[in-house]
């Protein structure tokens, strides 16, 4: 018998996974950009340009990172293109020395790209000496805002604890009141039952005394009231003298 054989085509599809998000690599530890006012005063019309660089650990996305400037209070002064060129056409006079810019980095991974958002801190001063002063001022602002945030959170937690304590006390008081009312109602019911039993017992005793003469004789001896006996031998209680 000749050997049997066949051929088939096998297709292997490998899907890549977007494991990492893009990151800004301009700054090692401090995300600060210093802009000198003197530059705009000395050279009117000159455009300030700063290049931002992004990096993605995914090999397929290293050269496909898109920059975007998010909307904020002073974002209209700055422009950034998709390649990361940050430009300032003109510097207004009334502008704070410290500006926070929100930006995003997006890779081109399909079907779900990764988007990384962060902040750029733009420092605006006259000379390079102002840079360190502005950095210290910004760090103090961060500490103050963080302290205020912690205090606000602490006050909120204390308020929540007070509310829980008040609710517990109200619940305990209401439960105690309900229990007391229940005990009082049971006491009233027991008292009524006892009175009814005493009344029934008294009626039964009187009925027995009318039927049994010996009980009647005993009641004559024990009672201070007078009895009268008719001709048929039947005794009856005389009303007390007043």
Name the one residue in this structure whose structure tokens are 């008292």: 191
The predicted model scores a pTM of: 0.51
| Among 120, 134, 70, 122, CA closest to 92 | 122
End-to-end Cα spacing for the chain: 144
pLDDT digits (tens, 9 = 90+) for 167-176: 999 999 999 9
Peptide bond just before 111 cis, omega within 30 deg: yes
pLDDT in tens, 194-225: 888 888 888 887 776 665 555 445 555 544 55
Mean confidence (pLDDT) of the chain: 78
Helices vs. strands in the chain: H and E counts, helices first: 3, 11
Q: What is the pLDDT of residue 85?
A: 87
**Structural contact between residues 75 and 100, judged by C-beta atoms closer than 8 angstroms:** no
Which residue do the tokens 């912690």 mark? 150
Question: Can you point out the beta strands (E) in 110-159?
Answer: 115-125
Instruction: Give dist(CA 115, CA 132) in Å, integer.
Output: 31
């Amino acid at each position: 018998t000749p050997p049997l054989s066949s051929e088939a085509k096998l297709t292997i599809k490998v899907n890549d996974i977007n494991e990492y998000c893009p990151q800004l690599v301009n700054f090692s530890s401090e995300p600060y950009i210093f802009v000198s006012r003197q530059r705009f005063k000395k050279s009117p019309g000159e455009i300030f340009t700063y290049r931002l660089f992004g990096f993605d650990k995914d090999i397929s996305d290293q050269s496909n990172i898109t920059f975007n400037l998010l909307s904020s209070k002073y974002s209209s002064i700055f422009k950034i293109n998709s390649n990361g060129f940050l430009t300032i056409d003109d510097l207004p006079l009334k502008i704070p020395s410290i500006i926070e810019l929100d930006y995003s980095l997006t890779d081109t991974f399909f079907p779900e790209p990764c988007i990384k958002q962060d902040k750029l801190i733009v420092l605006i001063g006259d000379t390079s000496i102002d840079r360190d002063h502005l950095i210290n001022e910004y760090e103090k602002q961060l500490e103050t805002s963080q302290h205020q945030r912690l205090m606000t959170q602490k006050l909120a937690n204390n308020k929540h604890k007070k509310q829980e304590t008040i609710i517990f006390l109200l619940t305990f008081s209401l439960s105690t009141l309900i229990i007391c009312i229940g005990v009082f109602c049971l006491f009233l019911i027991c008292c009524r039952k006892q009175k009814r039993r005493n009344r029934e017992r008294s009626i039964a005793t009187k009925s027995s005394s009318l039927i049994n003469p010996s009980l009647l004789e005993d009641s004559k001896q024990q009672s201070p009231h007078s009895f009268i006996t008719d001709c048929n031998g039947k005794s009856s209680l005389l009303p007390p003298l007043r």
